[in-house]
Chain A
C-alpha cells in the first residue's frame, strides 16, 4: 500500500535538494550564460573536504568531526574558493565566447576536479558518518518522517528566503538581477562585471556546499562522481523550470523531484530501474514543446 502523504514528503525533500542545486546552476546561467557541468563536482568536492586525504576505504573525519555550524562554514568556504578559482583561471578568459564553448570549458573543469579528487583520495568509494543521527525518524500523524528530510526542506526554505532578500533588497542583488538581464547594459551603467560574476559563483558555491552536506548525510558514501546525478537532475530542473529564471529553477527542482518520486512509487516493478530515463525524456519533451520552461521569463529571448 503506497502511502501518498509519505511519498509527498519524500518528493518535497528531494525537491528541496534539487531546487538548491538548480538555483546554483540557474544563477550562473542567468548571469553568465554558462551551463556549468562542473557544478556537480563542486558538490563532490565539498563532501570530500570533510575527510583527511587518503586512499583508504574507511574515511577519517577531519572537518567532518567539528561542530555542525563550523562544518557548514568550512565546507562553504572551500567550495566557494574552488568556484571562484574556476572563474579566475578559466571562465574569466572566455567571457565573450559562445555558450557551446562555455559548456565545453565547464566540462573540462569538471574533468579536472574529478581527477584531482581521484589523485588525493583514490577511486574507492568511502563510507562516512556525517550527522547520521538525522536519519532518526519522527512520528507525525500516522507518518514516519526522517528528521533529515525536515532539515532539508527547512534549510532550502531558509536559503531561498535569504537569496530572495539578497536579490530584492540589497544593492548588490539588484545589480545582479540587472546583469542577469542585460549584462552589457549593466556595465555601461557602472555595474562591476567581475564583482557580480564573482558573487554569483560564491552564492552558487554556498548552495552547492549545503546540497553536498545534505546529500552526504543521506547516503553516507563518498565517491568521485557522487555529485554528477544531482547536477544532471538540477540541470534538468533548470531546463524544465525555465533557464535564466530563479523561480523557474526552484520550481523545476520540485517538478523533477515530484516526477521522479511518483514515477518511482507508481511505475510497475520491471520499469522502475528506468525511472531516470523517463525523467530525462521529460527534458526532451520540455525542450520540444515548451522551451522557455514552466515559468517563462520575459528576459529570455534566444537563450536556449
Chain B
C-alpha cells in the first residue's frame, strides 16, 4: 500500500467518519421514530457527549484526571444564560450584571460562543498556574477549582441568583442542534489528538522524561489541551441551559462530575471512541434502570425498583469496570476499520521536524 499523504489521511479519516455516521444514524432513528420524551433523552445524551468528548481531549491525552471541568461547564452555561434570558427578569433579579448583558437578549450563536470562550479564557488562566503540578496534585487542584466555582456561583446572588435558578432561557436546542455540535466536537477532538500538540502531549503521558529531553514543554502542551477541552465542555454547558431553559448552580457539581467521569472511564479514558461508547453505554444503562424504576407491569402487580437504583447501579458498574477492565470498554483504543491496514500507522501524521527527534 503506497503511503502517500493522501492515502494516510484517508485511512485516518475513515474511522472518524464511521463514528460520525454512527452517531448521526442513532440520533436520527431516535428523533424521527421516537416520541417527545425520547427526543429529550437523546438531546441530553448529545450534550453530555460533547462534554465527555471535551473531557477526553484533556484527560485522555494528558493522563491527568480533571475533576474540575464541570466548573467550566457551569461558567459557560451561566454566560449563555446571561446572554439569552429575558431582560426584564434580569433587571429584576440579577442586579449585579453589567449593563450590556442585563438590558439585551443575544441570539443563540452569541450565547454559545461567548460561553465557550469565557470558559476557555478561565481555563487558560487557571491552567497556566496549576498545570505545572504533577498528576495527582493537578487533579487535586482541579477539584479545588470545582469547589471554588460552586462556592462563588452559589453565593454571588446579584449575578447568578445564588442557590435559586435563572429561568426563562429560550429552549432552542433540540436533537439536531445537539447532533451538529456533537459531530463538531468529535472532529475537533480527533484533530487535536493527531495534531502536533496532541502527539507531544501523549508523549508526556507515556514517558515524561523522554518527552522533556526531546524539548517538549509539558506545561504548554497540557495547557493547549486544557483550554481546548474547556472550550468544548463550555459549548456543552451553553447548549445544556438552552435545552433545559433553567440554570442552577447545583446542576454543575458533584453529581454531574461523577456521571461524566463515569461515562469516560467506562468507555475508555484514552480515546475519543471511548468517550462516545461511554456516553452511549451509560445512557442506555441509565434509561434501562429508569424504565425499571417506573415500574414494569407483571400480571396484576407492578414490579418497580426503588428510587436511587440507577445511580447505585451506575456506581457499581463503574467500580466493576475499574476492577476488571480499567482501560474501559474500548480498551482506550480508537475505532479500527478492518481491511484498512494498521490504524496506528494511519493515525500518525508527520512528526514535527523541528526540535523533537524521531523516536522509533
Asked if A and B touch directly (CB within 8 angstroms), the answer is yes
**Binary B-proximity of A82-94 (CB < 8 A = 1, otherwise 0):** 0000000110011
Q: A104 in the interface, Cβ–Cβ < 8 Å?
A: yes
Smallest CB–CB gap between B256 and chain A, Å?
12
Cβ of A108 and Cβ of B151 under 8 Å apart?
no
Query: For B307, what are the chain A residues with a Cβ–Cβ distance below 8 Å?
Result: 118-119
Does A72 count as interface, using CB distance less than 8 angstroms? no
Which residues of B lie under 8 Å from residue A9 when comparing CB positions?
none
Contact indicator B254/A291 (Cβ below 8 Å):
no
User: Contact: A284 with B144, CB < 8 Å?
Assistant: yes
Give the Cβ gap from B202 to chain A, nearest Cβ, in Å.
16
User: Contact string, B138-173, partner A, CB cutoff 8 A, digits 1/0?
Assistant: 011100110110011001000000000000000000
Report the nearest A residue to B316, measured CB to CB.
A112
Does chain A have a CB within 8 A of B323? Answer: yes
Find out whether the CB atom of B312 lies under 8 angstroms from the CB atom of A116.
Answer: yes
Q: Are B130 and A288 in contact (CB under 8 A)?
A: yes
**Interface SS, A side:** helix
Q: Is the CB of A232 within 8 A of B147?
A: yes
Known: A108-B262, A287-B141. A100 touches B133 (CB 8 A): no
Given the complex, which residues of B lie within 8 Å of A68, measured CB to CB?
none
Q: Are A283 and B136 in contact (CB under 8 A)?
A: no
Decide if B151 touches A274 in the complex (CB within 8 Å): yes
Contact yes or no, A108 B318, CB < 8 A: yes
Cβ contact within 8 Å between B322 and A105: yes
A67 CB–B CB distance under 8 Å: no
Let me know if B315 and A291 touch, CB within 8 A.
Answer: no
B309 within 8 A of A: yes
Asked whether B98 is an interface residue with its Cβ less than 8 Å from the other chain, the reply is: no
Complex CA–CA separation, A34 to B72 (angstroms)? 27
Main secondary structure of the interface of B (DSSP, over half): helix
A269 within 8 A of B: no
Interface pair B152/A115, CB less than 8 Å apart: no
Q: Are A104 and B155 in contact (CB under 8 A)?
A: no
Q: Does B134 contact A (CB under 8 A)?
A: yes
CB contact under 8 A between A283 and B144, given known A119-B306, A274-B152, A276-B151? yes
B322 touches A274 (CB 8 A): no
Q: Could you say which of A90, A116, A284 has the most chain B C-beta atoms within 10 Å of its C-beta?
A: A284
Q: B306 — which chain A residues lie within 8 A by C-beta?
A: 119
**Partner among B132, B140, B261, B308 whose Cβ is within 8 Å of the Cβ of A104:** B261
- Is B326 close to A, CB under 8 A? yes
Contact (A277, B148) CB under 8 Å given A99-B136, A112-B315, A287-B140: yes
In the complex, whether B110 has a CB less than 8 A from a CB of chain A is no
**Across the two chains, which residue of chain B brings its CB closest to A118?**
B308
Min CB–CB distance A208 → chain B (angstroms): 19
A78 within 8 Å of B by Cβ? Answer: no
Q: CB of B65 within 8 A of chain A?
A: yes
Contact residue among A109, A236, A274, A287 (Cβ-Cβ distance under 8 Å from B133):
A287
**Pair B323/A280 contact, Cβ less than 8 Å:** no
A304 vs B133: C-alpha distance in the bound complex, in angstroms? 9
Contact B315 A284 (CB under 8 A): no
Residue B314 lies at the interface, judged by CB distance under 8 Å to chain A: yes
- Measured in the bound complex, the distance between the Cα atoms of B147 and A283 in whole Å is 11
Number of interface residues of B (CB under 8 A): 40
1/0 per residue, CB under 8 A from B, across A267-278: the answer is 000000110110
- The answer on a CB contact under 8 Å between B261 and A107 is yes
User: Is B206 in contact with chain A by the CB < 8 A criterion?
Assistant: no
Name the B residues within 8 Å of A280 (CB-CB): 144, 147-148, 151
Task: Indicate with 1 or 0, residue by residue over B293-326, a CB within 8 angstroms of chain A CB atoms.
Answer: 0000000000000111101101110110011001
Q: Does B245 touch A at the CB level, under 8 Å? A: no
Q: Write the nearest CB–CB distance from B304 to chain A, whole angstroms.
A: 13
Give the residues in chain B near A111, CB-CB below 8 Å.
258, 311, 314-315, 318
Contacts of B340 in A (CB 8 A): none
A203 within 8 A of B: no
Residue of B nearest to A105 (CB): B322
Question: In the complex, which residues of chain A have a beta carbon less than 8 angstroms from the beta carbon of B136?
Answer: 35, 99-100, 103, 303-304
Interface code A60-94, partner B: CB below 8 Å = 1, 0 otherwise?
00000000000000000000000000000110011
Most chain B beta-carbon contacts within 10 A, residue among A89, A90, A287: A287
- Does residue A281 face the partner (Cβ distance < 8 Å to B)? yes
| Inter-chain contacts of A118 with B (CB < 8 A) | 307-308, 311
Q: Is B284 an interface residue, CB under 8 A from the partner?
A: no
Which residues of chain A come closer than 8 Å to B326, judged between CB atoms? Answer: 94, 97, 101
Give the residue name and chain of the A residue nearest to B59 (CB): A100
Given A100-B139, A105-B318: 20 more A-B contacts, CB < 8 Å: A35-B136, A94-B323, A99-B136, A103-B139, A104-B65, A104-B318, A107-B258, A108-B262, A112-B311, A112-B315, A118-B307, A118-B311, A119-B306, A119-B312, A228-B254, A274-B152, A277-B147, A283-B140, A283-B141, A304-B136
Pairs A–B under 8 Å by Cβ, sample size 11: A35-B140, A100-B136, A104-B318, A108-B318, A111-B318, A118-B311, A119-B308, A273-B155, A287-B130, A288-B129, A304-B137
User: What residues of chain B have their CB less than 8 Å away from a CB belonging to chain A?
Assistant: 63-65, 129-130, 132-137, 139-141, 144-145, 147-148, 151-152, 155, 254, 258, 261-262, 265, 306-309, 311-312, 314-316, 318-319, 322-323, 326
User: Which residues of A are at the interface with B, using a C-beta cutoff of 8 A?
Assistant: 35, 89-90, 93-94, 97, 99-101, 103-105, 107-109, 111-112, 114-116, 118-119, 225, 228, 232, 235-236, 239, 273-274, 276-277, 280-281, 283-284, 287-288, 291, 302-304
